[in-house]
């Protein structure tokens, strides 16, 4: 049985990924930071569907917590095959100059260094077995850049570059590194947006609607599977087609 660790799997896109991968037969390691009850709920749902899951508390921005989590996951399931770096935070919309350096640093600590910490912790294990998949979650803003989302966009752009560079470094070891760039997806991250805001945003999407977490999870399931064996260093947009 293969094992997948999904960071930030207590809610939103991460939750959908955990449930989707369990349906493909993965044992699922559900990482969370604060939402223990929600993480337990994901585990319960997976178990009710006949899957295997465990919850792991760790702040991905804290290297020591990440190293411990990785050891605990490997000990719990006997190995790890897929790492999905999904945990991320956004800021309220605002001009770049409205945010101070500490606020920007917090975003980078979770989105960029959190992704790097988890990759660094899993790579020695993947290298030793000469296989493994790392899937990072960027954002459409990491490709296009979003006005009033400058710091978040910069953090997500860094993930695209990190994916490309790391994929080249790890390919000789049989490890694939890819990235997903979701568009606007209905989760808690966007709960501050009004229906009118979403409607306006949807006018710039060729499919004319906001996406669902489950639709992102489908692409993750593909990248985690052997069906994606010749895809490496790519960023795949799951955004309904931006106009």
DSSP track, 74-95: HHHHS---EEEE-------S--
DSSP letter (8 states) at residue 60: T
Of 174 and 241, nearer to ligand NDP (C-beta) is 241
Among 26, 32, 125, 152, the active-site one is: 152
Q: Is 61 helix (H, G, I), strand (E, B) or coil?
A: coil
Could you give the string, one character per residue 138-177, with x where binding to ligand NDP holds by CB under 6 A and - elsewhere? Answer: -x--------------------------------------
- Convert residues 70-89 into a mask of x (bound to ligand NDP by CB under 6 A) and - (unbound): ----------------xxxx
Residue 20 interacts with ligand NDP (CB under 6 A)? no
Nearest to 27 by CA among 55, 67, 69: 55
The answer to whether residue 125 is catalytic is: no
Shortest Å, Cβ 22 to ligand NDP: 16
- Using CB under 6 A as the binding rule, whether residue 34 contacts ligand NDP is answered as yes
Q: How many CA atoms lie within 13 A of 228 on its CB side?
A: 24
**How far is Cα 105 from Cα 132, in angstroms, rounded to an integer?**
30
Instruction: Please identify, using beta-carbon distances, which residue of 45 and 173 lies nearer to ligand NDP.
Output: 45
Size of the site for ligand NDP (CB under 6 A): 31
The one among 42, 185, 217, 223 contacting ligand NDP by CB under 6 A? 185
Which residue has 């989760």 as its token pair? 187
Among 80, 184, 221, 223, binds ligand NDP (CB under 6 A): 184
Q: How far is the CB of 98 from ligand NDP (least distance, A)?
A: 20
Residue number with CB closer to ligand NDP (178 or 187): 187
**Of 177, 176, 148, the residue nearest 160 (C-alpha):** 177
Supply φ then ψ for residue 10, to 5 degrees.
-75, -25
Residue at token pair 């702040």: 59
> Between 3 and 10, whose beta carbon lies closer to ligand NDP?
10
Token pair of 25, please?
């037969």
> Residue 115 and residue 87: Cα distance in Å, rounded?
8
Contact positions vs ligand NDP (CB under 6 A): 7-8, 10-14, 31-35, 59-61, 86-90, 110, 114, 137, 139, 182, 184-185, 187-190
Residues carrying an active site annotation: 152
């Amino acid at each position: 049985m293969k094992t997948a660790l999904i960071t930030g799997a207590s809610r939103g896109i991460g939750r959908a990924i955990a449930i989707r991968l369990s349906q493909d037969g993965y044992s699922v390691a559900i990482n969370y930071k604060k939402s223990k009850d929600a993480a337990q709920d994901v585990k319960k749902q997976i178990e009710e569907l006949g899957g295997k899951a465990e919850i792991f508390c760790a702040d991905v921005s804290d290297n020591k917590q990440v190293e411990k989590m990785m050891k605990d996951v490997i000990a719990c399931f006997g190995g790890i095959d897929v790492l999905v770096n999904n945990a991320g935070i956004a800021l309220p919309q605002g001009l770049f100059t409205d945010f101070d350096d500490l606020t920007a640093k917090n975003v980078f600590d979770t989105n960029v260094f959190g992704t790097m910490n988890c990759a660094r912790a899993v790579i020695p294990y993947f290298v030793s077995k000469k296989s493994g998949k790392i899937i990072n979650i960027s954002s459409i803003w990491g490709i296009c850049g979003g006005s009033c989302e400058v710091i978040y966009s910069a953090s997500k752009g860094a993930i695209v570059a990190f994916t490309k560079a790391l994929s080249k470094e790890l390919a000789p070891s049989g490890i694939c590194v890819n990235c997903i760039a979701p568009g606007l997806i209905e989760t808690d991250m966007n709960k501050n947006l009004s229906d009118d805001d979403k409607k306006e945003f949807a006018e710039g999407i060729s499919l004319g609607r906001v996406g669902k977490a489950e639709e992102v999870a489908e692409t993750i399931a593909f990248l985690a599977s052997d069906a994606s064996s010749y895809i490496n260093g790519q960023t795949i947009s799951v955004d309904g087609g931006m106009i």
